[in-house]
Amino acid sequence: MKYNMSSVIKKAILGGIVVIFAFIIILSFNDIKTTINVIKKANVENLLICLGIVVAYLFFYVLSLHILMRSRKINIRTRDIYLIGITEPFFNGITPSSSGGQPFQMYAYYRRGVSLKDSSVTLLMNFIVFMLGNNIFAFTSLIYYDEYVAKIPNFTWIVIFGFAMNFFILFFFLALALSKHARNIMIAFVGWLSRRKLLKKVLAGKQEKFIQYCDGVQEGCKAILKNPLAFILAFISKMIAIALYNVLPFYGMRALGLDLSYDYFFYVMLGTAFATAMVIWMPTPGAVGGIELAFSSIFITLPGTTKAIATAGMCIWRLYTFYLLLIVGFSCYMIFEMKEKKYRKYLAEHEIEKPENNDEAAIDTVEVINENNENDEKEEL
């Protein structure tokens, strides 16, 4: 993806169309009028709790990245870590299989003076921490397996495939980060692919870059693991974020008038993890289509839940954890672009040659721009 405003907006529009179209199809299988009436009667207090959960989720979700960056002594401001970190849900949401977040973050941190090696290593470790936490929640949810699949018995193969994909992704990236043997196998595999006629042109000259990437990742990950406290804190932060994400439907369903006691707190939290793990393989942006069906099918098992309430609960959950995060992430992206525009304008006005990233000159220049931006904001006030 080209990271300029026009191309990103085009991607966002295309992704938005796919998401809206899929969501309309899902709703068409239900009584839309009844679902809307259920949502209209939602309790405001519980909806505000859901909003507070989303804010806390974003804080803890990016906090793990902040901890890992500080452990590597990467010279970047906290507000830039968060500004760029919060764009992840947006880029994940407009790309197939949620694959756009990390590439943009690497690009954005590079623009803020962080080397590609440092950003790629830190983002990979952050992703591994996330997948580790996600798998813990997913496999813990199996204690309620019989209840979750009570009304979806034909989904067994989807459950098996989804959970297997979760584990495979975690295993793959752990192997890439920690195992020399796995590194050699992956490099040999890429070399084999580069000799195939169909991929020869695409992979020509990229094998050496892949080797450098693997070596850099393994070197950086070993450096991070030498500071186990940072890794543990990052893991705790990510676990809190995942728990917040998964518990939001509990208050969303309560907002719809469902008399849920706290006896169902963990049932709902783990049910969300179960639904998410089922459809991780979906190639649509944000797993749209599959995640809605999985959620509705699982939460209709709650006592007193009708099809309309389950669908309305799914709508509220997706509104907060997907559509709202898309808007917030896009807003952070726009702020990033505006700051970059000021940065480039400052360099042009003062005839400063753009410095290389992650050296002292680059960091000093970024600091000067930040200070000037702060002064401009104070003058405007």
The predicted structure's pLDDT at residue 82? 93
Q: Residue 295: pLDDT band by 50, 70, 90 thresholds?
A: confident
For position 51, what pLDDT does the model report? 95
**Average pLDDT of span 253-277:** 88
pLDDT digits (tens, 9 = 90+) for 129-155: 999 999 999 999 989 888 887 666 667
**Which residues, at least 6 apart from 145, have a Cβ–Cβ distance to it below 8 Å?**
159, 274
pLDDT given for residue 381 in this prediction: 40
Average confidence (pLDDT) over 233-260: 91
What pLDDT does 362 receive? 42
Beta strand spans in 184-272 (E): none
Instruction: Name which of 21-25, 197-201, 220-224, 345-349 the model is least confident about.
Output: 21-25
pLDDT score of 379: 45
Does the pLDDT value for residue 278 go beyond 50? yes
| Residues 311-340, mean pLDDT to the nearest whole number | 87
Tell me the domain boundaries of the chain: 5-332
Q: What percentage of the chain exceeds 70 in pLDDT? A: 77
pLDDT in tens, 33-82: 777 788 888 889 999 999 999 999 999 999 999 999 998 888 888 999 99
> Tens digits of per-residue pLDDT, 194-243?
777 777 777 766 777 778 778 777 877 777 777 889 889 999 999 999 99
Residue 359: which pLDDT band, with cuts at 50, 70 and 90?
very low
Compute CA distances 313 → 38, 263, 322, whole Å. 9, 18, 14
What value does the mean pLDDT take over residues 248-270? 89
* Distance between CA atoms of residues 305 and 63, nearest Å: 36
- For residue 11, what pLDDT is reported? 67
Residue 377's pLDDT is what? 42
- Reduce the DSSP state of residue 59 to 3 states and report it: helix
Considering only 212-226, 239-253, 278-292, which range has the smallest mean pLDDT?
A: 278-292
**What is the distance between the alpha carbons of residues 344 and 353, in angstroms, rounded to a whole number?**
10
Q: Which of 179, 8, 224, 198 shows the shortest CA–CA distance to 100?
A: 8
* pLDDT of the residue at 247: 93
Note whether 92 and 98 are within 8 A (CB): yes
Burial class, 116, CB count within 10 angstroms (exposed 0-12 / middle 13-18 / buried 19+):
middle
Q: What percent of the chain has pLDDT over 90?
A: 18
Give the model's pLDDT for residue 266: 92
Identity of the amino acid at 356: E
Mean predicted confidence (pLDDT) in 117-122: 85
Q: Which residues are CB-contacts of 240 (< 8 A; sequence separation ≥ 6)?
A: 60
pLDDT given for residue 236 in this prediction: 96
Q: What is the mean pLDDT of residues 170-191?
A: 83
What pLDDT score was predicted for residue 50? Answer: 93
pLDDT of 258 strictly over 90: no
Instruction: Report the chain's mean pLDDT, rounded to a whole number.
Output: 79
Q: Which residue's structure tokens are 């902040």?
A: 66
DSSP letter at 226?
T
Report pLDDT for 286: 61
pLDDT at 351 over 70: no
Mean pLDDT of 7-13: 69
Q: What is the pLDDT of residue 250?
A: 92
Q: In 3D, which of 287, 278, 292, 285 has the Cα closest to residue 162?
A: 278
Q: Is the per-residue pLDDT at 257 higher than 70? A: yes
Q: What is the pLDDT of residue 148?
A: 81
Q: What is the model's pLDDT at position 368?
A: 43
Which pair of tokens denotes residue 24?
């309309």
Report pLDDT digits (tens) over 199-210.
Answer: 777 776 677 777
| Predicted pLDDT at 5 | 64
Exposed (0-12), middle (13-18) or buried (19+): which is 202, by Cβ within 10 Å? exposed
